């Protein structure tokens, strides 16, 4: 049985024990959508140090995709751009 979470509404398959970042990269998703920060918006260090992979989780606090195990049905996406909520 294949498990899935959702990135920007689209299903992404993952393997048991895989991190969110690993599943996204295997699916060809490298742009995690954070504008202007360097190395933000992509998986850079893979060990939780650079914060480049921080993403939004529906109904929960943001997480580091490189450290967070994928779970069935998670709804994930880029963090909102800073200040976008006031645009």
Binding interface with ligand FES (CB under 6 A): 43-46, 48-53, 64, 66
| Residue (34 or 64) nearer to ligand FES, CB | 64
Closest chain position to ligand FES (CB) = 66
Distances (CA, A) of 46 to 2, 26, 81, 85: 24, 14, 22, 29
| Nearer of residues 12 and 53 to ligand FES, judged by Cβ | 53
Which one, 1 or 65, has the nearer CB to ligand FES? 65
Least Cβ distance, residue 4 to ligand FES (angstroms): 21
Name which of 50, 49, 57 is nearest 20 in CA terms. Answer: 57
């Amino acid at each position: 049985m294949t498990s899935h979470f959702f990135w920007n509404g689209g299903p992404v398959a993952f393997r048991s024990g895989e991190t969110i970042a690993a599943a996204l990269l295997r699916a060809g998703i490298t742009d995690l959508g954070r504008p202007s920060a360097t190395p933000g918006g992509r998986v850079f260090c893979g060990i939780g140090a650079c914060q480049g992979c921080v993403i939004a989780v529906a109904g929960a606090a943001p997480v580091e995709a490189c450290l967070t195990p994928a779970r069935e049905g998670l709804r994930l996406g880029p963090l909102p751009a800073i200040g976008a909520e006031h645009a």
